Amino acid sequence: MKYGGSSPEITNLAHKNFVQAASDTRSLCCTPIELLSKDGTEIVISTATGFFWLHNGQAYLVTNWHVVSGRDPFTGEIINTNGYIPSQFNFYGASTEVRDGSVVIDRKLIRITLGPHVEEILEKPPIIAGGPVDLWAMPFPNEMVFGRDTNRKGFAGADVVTCFINEGKFQRILTQAGDECVILGYPLRNYEGGMFPIWKRGSIASDVAFGVGGRPVFLIDAATTPGMSGSPILRRATSFTADNRDIGAIQQFYTLDFIGVYAGRLQSAELAQTNIGYGRYQVLIPDVVKQFASALGAKVDVIPIG
Residue 289 in 3-state DSSP?
A: helix
In a domain? residue 2 = no
Q: Is the pLDDT of residue 1 over 60?
A: no
In a domain? residue 219 = yes
In a domain? residue 1 = no
Residue type, 225: T
How many domains does the chain divide into? 1
Instruction: List the domain range (segments joined by +) for residue 240.
Output: 8-304
* pLDDT score at 105: 81
7-16 burial by CB neighbour count: b if 16+ within 10 A, else e?
eeeeeeeeee
> Which CATH number belongs to the domain containing residue 43 in this structure?
2.40.10.10
209-236 burial by CB neighbour count: b if 16+ within 10 A, else e?
eeebeebbbbbbbbebeebbbbbbbbbb
Per-residue pLDDT tens digits for 242-281: 777 777 787 778 899 999 999 998 766 565 567 799 999 9
**pTM of the complete model beyond 0.85:** yes
**Nearest of 235, 295, 301, 302 to residue 262 by alpha carbon:** 235
Distance, in Å, from the CA atom of 284 to the CA atom of 81, rounded to the nearest integer, reads 30
In a domain? residue 132 = yes
Per-residue pLDDT tens digits for 84-132: 788 899 999 998 877 766 677 889 999 998 877 777 778 889 999 888 9
In a domain? residue 227 = yes
98: how many CB neighbours lie within 10 A of its CB?
A: 13
